[in-house]
Structure 1
Amino acid sequence: MSTASQVATHVPPADPAHPSVGAATSLLDAYTPGDHFLATPGRTLLARGPGREVPHDERPLTDRVDATLAEAVAAAGQESPVVIGAIPFDHTAPAALHVPASVRTAPPLASDPMIALPAGPSATTDWQIRPVPAPEVYGEGVAAAVARMWRGEFSKVVLARTLELTSGAPLDLPAMLQRLARRDPSGYTFALPTGPARTLIGASPELLVSRHGNQVVANPLAGSTPRSDDLAEDVRRAATLLESVKDLHEHAVVVDAVHQALAPHCTGITVPARPTLIRTATMWHLSTTVTGTLSSASTSALDLAMALHPTPAVCGTPTQTARQVIAETEPFDRGFFTGVVGWGNADGDGEWVVTIRCAEAEERTLRLYAGAGIVAASEPEAETAETGAKFRTFLSAVGAEL
């Protein structure tokens, strides 16, 4: 049992007058590698059991998911089976989606007072860290992309880099999950199996889309700046971000793309005129909450997610050109990074989240990912620093530093 789990186990029993006390954190404490764990601002989910794997074949992903949910209803008599898991950046690659045998649910972590308890120190380990590519090579890639934008080839691309962390001891995934969840309990925290002995683990701030009945919500984030430990400087950075011409333009491009993708599926869409700010433990982000009303009850949350994925916030504009630039520039396969994680049910409801602030874990290694939106006004040094700040979310969870 991890140190974090030990801390949470020895808390007083929940007050029966307040049944939410301890309900969500008990699922967090119960997580073991191989489980599907997902915490959102709306609920906490812990799924177990082999269940049914969504197959990879020539059918559209949404059709395969619908068929797998229908099979679960027919075979096991599940009244409302849930699909949960991860979809890669390349939507033609195999997804890691399952309809598990059992799903436990609880209120959101942020509503559970027990989430305020400290997660405990990270396991002491000597991490070997290798950046891929090296920071200076990443900066060169940014400069080359900016030069192409000035020539009019495209308007935005999101370029990422990775850190490969190797430990001398087996990874303690429950402890990492505890630290991620307790640091930003209002976000989207996940630990999802993506293959034999492989886990996608992270804490994303960005909702791609949710559907509850006929109500649709999307919350695109684009334009960001690192937080500061100094309160006055932190406020100054937030105010500067709200007035940044570069970041406001980058954000507007993403919001417009989200609006255009949702419009065919909705009878009405509300898009605020200006973004607001949201914060995580390490970053400030420009944020716009887009809401709409579905025109057809047959359109599921996953249908909407696939219509949106990938947004310019994780790929670029135009999409196909940006994909090509990413393939030419990034010396690694993104895998599930900048893909989608979430859940959906047979009624079409669900929540699907942009897969950022994450790592892929396998045995004694972690591969961390961070990206930055590159536009014509981007500067290589600033974008490299932004990706470094984004790495801090996960580095702090494992006790490592750049």
Structure 2
Amino acid sequence: MPTASQVATHMSPAGPAHPAVGAATSLLDAYTPGSRFLATSGRTLLAHGAVRQVPHDDRPLVERVNATLTEAGAAGQRNPVVIGAIPFDHGVPAALGVPATLRVAPPLASDPLITLPVGASGTADWRIRPVPEPGVYGAGVASAVERMMRGEFSKVVLARTLELTSRAPLDLPMMLRRLARRDPAGYTFALPTGPGRTLIGASPELLVSRQGRQVTANPLAGSAPRSTDLAEDVRRAAALLDSAKDLHEHAVVVDAVHRSLAPHCTELTVPTRPTLIRTATMWHLSTTVTGTLAAPDTSALALAYALHPTPAVCGTPTMTARQVIAETEPFDRGFFTGMVGWGDAEGDGEWVVTIRCAEAEEHTLRLYAGAGVVAASDPEAETAETAAKFRTFLSAVGAEL
């Protein structure tokens, strides 16, 4: 197995022009619990071990990551890479490290073998407990709408969870393979976050990437569940593109991304209208923002921190939304709505919004899903949206609501 220093120089946004068949899926199939797997639109990564963990102290995280990469380089590791997960709350320790070995392949979507079927999940005897109950979640949405009508704030993203417990051990490799094959163009990950704990999921949303001086962000906001009926699926997509509520919600997020990136870029291109992207379960309004970095020493992680949290996962104004989340959600978000990704000593990297995910530990999975609540929101509709978002993970483990 090559070391991180041996493979890091071969990273590129698109991978080789003619990727070898099976190069990416071989890394997917080689994943074992405790290793770090991350598949992005630019590459597929599988890392083992950790030469150095990024410490948790009073220094800003970006400074700690830079210092860790510098120390790894000084110790003889050529082109070290940090990979892992960062929580929603800036004050909570991140799970980031420089791996001992790192294998890199082209994107999963470029590998023809990703289309091959995968077996059924080995665990189907789930006991499911919603936290909070759907009715309680809907009441929280209604309360937030009432406060917005009084002018206290303009948006908040409220989440709920499902706790899945099984008598059988969790089959994380099978879950990961099913997630990846269901949405191979998305961002699939399985990352250790503590002893015996794994963050696993398939996010559709790139927070930001940096390759040299090229910067890309892809905010998503405004969603509609897919339908198995083709005509109805197309109708839902068209309705989403024409929804005043969703277009406004999306515009708020894009504007926040624009304002956060503008100080760091010499030029920035922001399309005037969103397009659509689809996953296996959802339609999303999508805008791809591109720019040219002003200062070459501004890393992808520094850009991600300038953006996080966007109104797509928190709300606006940010501090008020954070307070409403803390008052309304009866659980700790942990790594949900944080970010996962990688970064190197040159500042390149990709950071993804941590959604459509679960935290796995022993026999238990905790699934997360959120919805953007604005003054025009309907509690039943937002509850239904979170249920649709849960389908991404439920389908990967053979469970149903």
Could you tell me the TM-score, scaled by structure 1's length?
Answer: 0.95
For residue 241 of structure 1, give the secondary structure of its aligned residue in structure 2: helix
In the other structure, the counterpart of 2:249 is 250
Verify the 8 A CA contact 2:132 2:160 in the aligned structure 1.
yes
Q: Which amino acid aligns with 1:111?
A: S
Between the aligned partners of 1:321 and 1:396, the Cα distance in structure 2 is 35
For residue 55 of structure 1, give the secondary structure of its aligned residue in structure 2: coil
In the other structure, the counterpart of 2:287 is 288
Q: Which amino acid aligns with 1:34?
A: G
Do residues 105 (structure 1) and 104 (structure 2) align? Answer: yes
Between the aligned partners of 2:265 and 2:50, the Cα distance in structure 1 is 36
In the other structure, the counterpart of 1:260 is 259
In the other structure, the counterpart of 2:46 is 46
- 4+ aligned runs moved over 3 Å, structure 1: none
Q: Which amino acid aligns with 2:57?
A: D
For residue 332 of structure 2, give the secondary structure of its aligned residue in structure 1: coil
In the other structure, the counterpart of 2:61 is 61
Between the aligned partners of 1:91 and 1:189, the Cα distance in structure 2 is 23
Do residues 134 (structure 1) and 104 (structure 2) align? Answer: no
Q: Which amino acid aligns with 1:150?
A: M
Verify the 8 A CA contact 1:125 1:168 in the aligned structure 2.
no
Between the aligned partners of 1:193 and 1:96, the Cα distance in structure 2 is 7
Q: How does 1:269-288 map to 2 (within 5 A)?
A: 269-288=268-287
Q: Which amino acid aligns with 1:46?
A: L
Between the aligned partners of 2:113 and 2:153, the Cα distance in structure 1 is 48
Between the aligned partners of 2:396 and 2:348, the Cα distance in structure 1 is 31
In the other structure, the counterpart of 2:330 is 331
In the other structure, the counterpart of 1:36 is 36
Between the aligned partners of 1:32 and 1:74, the Cα distance in structure 2 is 30
Listed as ranges, the gaps of 5+ residues in structure 2 are 1-16
Q: Which amino acid aligns with 2:36?
A: H
Between the aligned partners of 1:79 and 1:126, the Cα distance in structure 2 is 46
Q: Which amino acid aligns with 1:312?
A: P
In the other structure, the counterpart of 1:223 is 222
In the other structure, the counterpart of 1:70 is 70
Between the aligned partners of 2:124 and 2:336, the Cα distance in structure 1 is 25
Do residues 367 (structure 1) and 366 (structure 2) align? Answer: yes
Q: How does 1:59-208 map to 2 (within 5 A)?
A: 59-75=59-75, 77-208=76-207
Between the aligned partners of 2:109 and 2:222, the Cα distance in structure 1 is 25
In the other structure, the counterpart of 2:212 is 213
Listed as ranges, the gaps of 5+ residues in structure 1 are 1-16
For residue 27 of structure 1, give the secondary structure of its aligned residue in structure 2: helix
In the other structure, the counterpart of 2:13 is none
Verify the 8 A CA contact 2:207 2:304 in the aligned structure 1.
yes
Between the aligned partners of 2:259 and 2:123, the Cα distance in structure 1 is 48
For residue 147 of structure 2, give the secondary structure of its aligned residue in structure 1: helix
Cα separation, partners in 2 of 1:19 and 1:149, compared to 1, 3 Å: closer
For residue 239 of structure 2, give the secondary structure of its aligned residue in structure 1: helix
For residue 62 of structure 2, give the secondary structure of its aligned residue in structure 1: helix
Verify the 8 A CA contact 1:20 1:111 in the aligned structure 2.
no
Between the aligned partners of 1:370 and 1:362, the Cα distance in structure 2 is 18
Kindly, what percent of the aligned residue pairs are identical? 83
Deviation at 1:19, TM superposition (A): 5.1
- Map Cα deviations across residues 350-372 of structure 1 (whole Å, 9 max, x no partner): 00000000000000000000000
For residue 125 of structure 1, give the secondary structure of its aligned residue in structure 2: coil
Between the aligned partners of 2:199 and 2:381, the Cα distance in structure 1 is 28
Aligned length: 385
Moved more, 25-34 or 123-132: 123-132
For residue 394 of structure 2, give the secondary structure of its aligned residue in structure 1: helix
- Map Cα deviations across residues 236-286 of structure 1 (whole Å, 9 max, x no partner): 000000000000000000000000000110001000000000000000000
Deviation at 1:50, TM superposition (A): 2.6
- Map Cα deviations across residues 63-105 of structure 1 (whole Å, 9 max, x no partner): 0000000111111x22211000000000111000001111100
Verify the 8 A CA contact 1:220 1:313 in the aligned structure 2.
yes
Deviation at 1:186, TM superposition (A): 0.3
In the other structure, the counterpart of 2:380 is 381
For residue 250 of structure 1, give the secondary structure of its aligned residue in structure 2: helix
Could you tell me the TM-score, scaled by structure 2's length?
Answer: 0.95
Between the aligned partners of 1:142 and 1:108, the Cα distance in structure 2 is 38
Verify the 8 A CA contact 1:158 1:373 in the aligned structure 2.
yes
In the other structure, the counterpart of 2:308 is 309
Q: Which amino acid aligns with 2:273?
A: R
For residue 176 of structure 2, give the secondary structure of its aligned residue in structure 1: helix
Between the aligned partners of 1:166 and 1:210, the Cα distance in structure 2 is 36
Root-mean-square deviation (CA, aligned residues, Å) is: 0.9
Cα separation, partners in 2 of 1:168 and 1:149, compared to 1, 3 Å: same
Between the aligned partners of 2:396 and 2:258, the Cα distance in structure 1 is 35
